[in-house]
Structure 1
Amino acid sequence: MLNWDDLKFFLAVCRTGSVRAAAQLLGVNHATVSRRINSFELSLGQRLFDRSAKGYVRTKLGDEIFNEASYLEDRLNTVERKIAGKDENLAGDIRITMPDLLAQKLFMPAIAEFCRLYPAVELDFAMTNEPLNLANREADVAIRVCSDPPEYLIGRKLAEMHRAPYVAKSSCPKVIDSDFEARFNWIGWTDKVRRPVGKLARDYPRFSAKHKLGDTFLQAQFCALGMGVSILPCFVGDPDPALVRIPPYSTDTRHDIWILSHPDLRKNAKIQAFVRHITEFSESVKPLIEGQAFTPS
């Protein structure tokens, strides 16, 4: 008889393509994943994967089992969500996923306050930009930066995320100089994004581009050290005492911040309490997120 735990390990390797990545997804040691896959294959008497330097590739039998196991997983997740959706207790676990930036720079005070209000609720965080699958209960609540959230989820837009260009406060006298554009540079992100495009870029056509840092935290730190101009979310740049916006103080927005959950969980008491709490907090800091809390000095 098939063991559902074997199928969970099998599906994780199928989706990630490697034992190590599957172990990280499942939160176990990679040796455990390797052992479970080998044991599963031994019980079937056939290989489910071809191993290579590039990773694990499903065999024909592996493809067949993957399709059936995925269907079974979907049905089991549906049953689990239906049961969880009727939970009226303000106690138990909530799995939450959000980008690390939102957690550290915006929502952590609200989350701590929620924990004080509901001490019987325990929060399990996945701080990632990866779009975890809420249908598979990889998370119960997702706070995401996006323009079009998945149609299978329900939720609300918390705010429009505005960005602005910042420099080190120590460079402020030079910014006032009419010739500052010739002496400043953008801090690049990646090879493909060496300089910004759109409204903010058009405000400063003479800026050159220098350096590449593909991380918002590092961008803010490098900018504060006087290494150039960085476009940052307003909720990152405006509260930072080491940074100032540059004239003409424009902002732009490309994405929104959403809070999302699965429709089957709309009557889960603790999840809805968390969603309401974060929504109310977001309303209170909306001017900061949307760049309206800034006043030129």
Structure 2
Amino acid sequence: MNWDDLKYFLAVARNGSVRSAAKVLGVNHTTVSRRIKQFEEDLGERLFDRSNGGYERTIIADEIYQEAIHLEERMFNVSRKVACKDQTLTGDIRITVPEGVGECLLMPSFSKFCDSHTKINIEIISSAVPLNLSNREADVAIRICKNPPEHLVGRKLANMHRACYVSAQLKEQIKDEDFVKSLNWLGFSQRARRPVGQVAKDYPKLKSKHYMLNMNMQVAACKLNMGVAILPCFIADNDSSLIRIPPFTDEHQYDLWLLYHPDLRKSKKIQTFVHFLYEQFEILKPLIEGECFTLSP
């Protein structure tokens, strides 16, 4: 049996549709459909009941699914064992980072690492969804969380601080307390219209207006005077077109962690990259924790 057949089968079984599976696998949906059809013909069994609601596993597919999961786990174990034996500084490193962290904080560090290790290629995945490190969806993860999974190893990098910001064009106006009270929050959605936490409590009179889920859109809207945005200090304190509003409060809400699978402890390539990032974060820590803020005259 071809392992690739099981890989396509598992993707459809987990995601419930050919299109969703294709997105996960990074292939065209017609490829997934063709592979599933061929797999069914090879087995002489129908694996999925097709409907407008998606693909539903048949009884025989449920049995195959349970066995395929165990085989997949063993395949990933083999992959990690091989990776940990790699004592060269060549090849690929896949890194997953939260939105904003890669482009606004870590890209100079990534560039510096690549300049020093020209035979290593890095793949950076900006995603709010935690990728599965056990399944080698990524080798190293930078995550915003409070309690990282116990099966992973790594280190807490910094306390992430956030504060309230407006466009620097309003530098003089925000000295007027009444003007500040007339501003509005930039919400994330109808459900998350108003922010919570200490920074929000400092401005009880502000109303909510405009909603956007994407952090980069919040930054752009804030710069264009569309409202007050609560942003990570490492983004806004490092941007001259944004300023904090009185009383300039910042607060610690989440932690920033670097994590990887324990099987990669002996991989020279991964450990070189991990320890490089540890050193970089020692330099970046004051910015992440809001200590680089200065009240300009």
Match of 2:27 in 1: 28
Aligned positions of 1:1-297 closer than 5 A: 2-297=1-296
Separation in 2 of the partners of 1:290 and 1:47?
56
Once the two structures are overlaid, the 10-residue window that deviates more, 189-198 or 46-55, is: 46-55
% identity of equivalent residues: 53
- On the 8 A contact 1:181/1:206 being kept in 2, the answer is no
Paired amino acid for 1:86: K
Unaligned runs of 5+ in 2: none
RMSD value over aligned CA atoms? 1.1
1:181 Cα shift?
Answer: 3.5
SS at structure 2 position matched to 1:179: helix
Once the two structures are overlaid, the 10-residue window that deviates more, 158-167 or 94-103, is: 94-103
Q: Deviations over 1:106-160 (max 9, x none)?
A: 1111111111111111112322111111111111111111111111110011111
- On the 8 A contact 2:22/2:29 being kept in 1, the answer is yes
Separation in 1 of the partners of 2:38 and 2:146?
44
Paired amino acid for 1:206: K
- On the 8 A contact 2:181/2:203 being kept in 1, the answer is no
Q: Deviations over 1:56-111 (max 9, x none)?
A: 12111111111100000101111221121121111111121112311100111111
Q: TM-score when scaled to structure 1?
A: 0.97
1:265 Cα shift?
Answer: 0.5
SS at structure 2 position matched to 1:167: strand
Paired amino acid for 1:215: N
Q: Deviations over 1:235-288 (max 9, x none)?
A: 111111211001111111221111111000001000011111111111101111
Paired amino acid for 1:17: G
- On the 8 A contact 2:95/2:140 being kept in 1, the answer is yes
SS at structure 2 position matched to 1:291: coil
Separation in 1 of the partners of 2:100 and 2:55?
33
1:29 Cα shift?
Answer: 1.4
1:291 Cα shift?
Answer: 0.6
Paired amino acid for 2:226: M
Paired amino acid for 1:201: A
1:3 Cα shift?
Answer: 1.1
Unaligned runs of 5+ in 1: none
Separation in 2 of the partners of 1:164 and 1:185?
15
Paired amino acid for 2:288: I
Q: Deviations over 1:186-214 (max 9, x none)?
A: 11111111111121111111111111111
